[in-house]
Amino acid sequence: MAEGWRTDRIGAALRGENPTVLRRLESGFAVIGDVQFLPGYSVLLVDEPGVQRLSDLPRAKRLAFLSDLDQLAEAVERACHRLDPDFRRINLEILGNTDPFLHAHVWPRYGWEPAESVGRPVWLYPRERWIDERSRLGPQHDVLREAISGELDRLRSTDC
């Protein structure tokens, strides 16, 4: 598949062409991050391409987005805790400084992270970590994808 989906992540998800989609949720799409230097990094994308900020949504959809974020965060936490004994916690962020569409980051944090990075925002990791081919999303992350997707399915089945 061509990489054109990266220029329209939400539209590609709506068309079924975004290969990072883990699951469709009530307000958007749970996707696994393009980079995995912190294994399990995921993002919640809103399902309305023109929405730029949380306050653009009507209150009910806003609450659904935050509920979906909670669900994705819990799924990532469960999967990462099971797969890596050094998993510590989840960090959540809604920034919107770079990409002009509403999305929320779910960052797992680990005990094996470099001392200079612990306690600091992920965005302060050196640029090399972001572009390292070894952390680029690929088939080596299939077990992680399946673990997070499975946890999302379990959480959704218990909410009914």
Does the structure show a pLDDT above 50 at 4?
Answer: yes
Q: What is the pLDDT of residue 2?
A: 54
Instruction: Yes or no: say if 12 and 18 are a contact pair by the CB < 8 Å rule.
Output: yes
pLDDT tens-place string over residues 40-64: 999 999 999 899 999 999 999 999 9
Q: What is the pLDDT of residue 160?
A: 54
pLDDT tens-place string over residues 99-116: 889 999 999 999 999 999
Number of independent structural domains in the chain: 1
Q: What is the pLDDT of residue 158?
A: 83
Instruction: Yes or no: say if 10 and 47 are a contact pair by the CB < 8 Å rule.
Output: yes
What residues does 42 pair with on adjacent strands? 32, 106
Residue 20 sits in a domain of what CATH number?
3.30.428.10
Supply the range of the domain harboring residue 26: 3-159
Q: What is the pLDDT of residue 133?
A: 93
